[in-house]
Amino acid sequence: MAQACRRTRYWCAFSNFNPTGGDMCSVRIGAIMGKAVLAAVLPLAMAGHANAAMFQITMQTSGTGYFQMDGMFDEAGPASGGQVPYTMRMIATLTDPVADHSGPTSKWWSDSDASVRVDLEVGGVVYTTIQQDRYVRLSHAAGRSGAPYEVLEMYAELLPHSVGNSASLSHTIHLAPGLLPFSDIIEPMAFATPDVLQTRIDGGVYIIYEDVFVQVGTLGAYGQQTSVSVTAVPEPGTYAMTLLGCAVLAGAGALRARRAG
């Protein structure tokens, strides 16, 4: 019997076909792979399961606006003397959003460790800033003061690289009523013009002067074309749970083959 077992192991190692010992080979391979995958992904799966879901929010608008924002972006500027065409894309990734408020007609969530990227094109020049560990708030309201529209707003606090001690940027979007369901959690969504009735962008750069915040830069714009998407970002634990399921299936298959033999 011992010699037969040794022969079977050698045959599994050096041959792809074994009419007599194939079941035993499958058992060994399935058990080994199952144990290896289980040991590798179980800690990651448990860690990912304990964390909240991640969401990426993308808002892009095109229209006209006034820009005097030196200090917010990596490059100097932009600066305009009047209303000029623009395109702005703002992407925020919320790693652990918290429901700060939940009511029958309004909800909002916030994250103090969000990452934010802003790309603004004005006059053929693209201005960019990428920030980490920033405060971002996403709010949803059925209407304000009885207005016949819903409001979705994303507000982000940004820290300038050069002039100023702080900066902020917000997208306020008016939506057709009943477009978004009210939920206690952030849910994936996507919509664009004409569901978007109006878009307003506001921003400011501030410095501290004698313990008072003084605004030194401003941004005010309206968007004629707007798109919004909220997508769930799979965490490492999501992939780990998938691999964990594969490991469990492999182990179960090996066990059935062993019992059948």
Q: What is the dihedral of CA 224, 225, 230, 236, to 10 degrees?
A: -130
Name the residue with tokens 């003397």.
Answer: 81
pLDDT at 257: 53
Residue scoring higher pLDDT (236 or 31): 236
The secondary structure of residue 199, as a DSSP letter, is E
For residue 205, the tally of other CB atoms under 10 A from its CB is: 26
Could you tell me the two tokens for 152?
């979705």
* pLDDT confidence band for 39 (50 / 70 / 90): very low
CA gap 120, 75 in Å, rounded: 11
**Does 38 score more than 50 pLDDT?**
no
Per-residue pLDDT tens digits for 224-246: 999 999 999 986 554 444 444 54
Q: Which of 157-166, 174-183, 220-229 has the highest mean pLDDT?
A: 220-229
Phi, psi of 35 (to 5 degrees): -65, -40
Residues shown for the chain: 261
Per-residue pLDDT tens digits for 148-165: 899 999 999 987 655 567
Helices (H) and strands (E) in the chain, counts: 3, 10
The H or E element spanning position 183 is none
Chain-wide mean pLDDT for the chain?
Answer: 75
Q: What is the mean pLDDT of residues 109-119?
A: 95
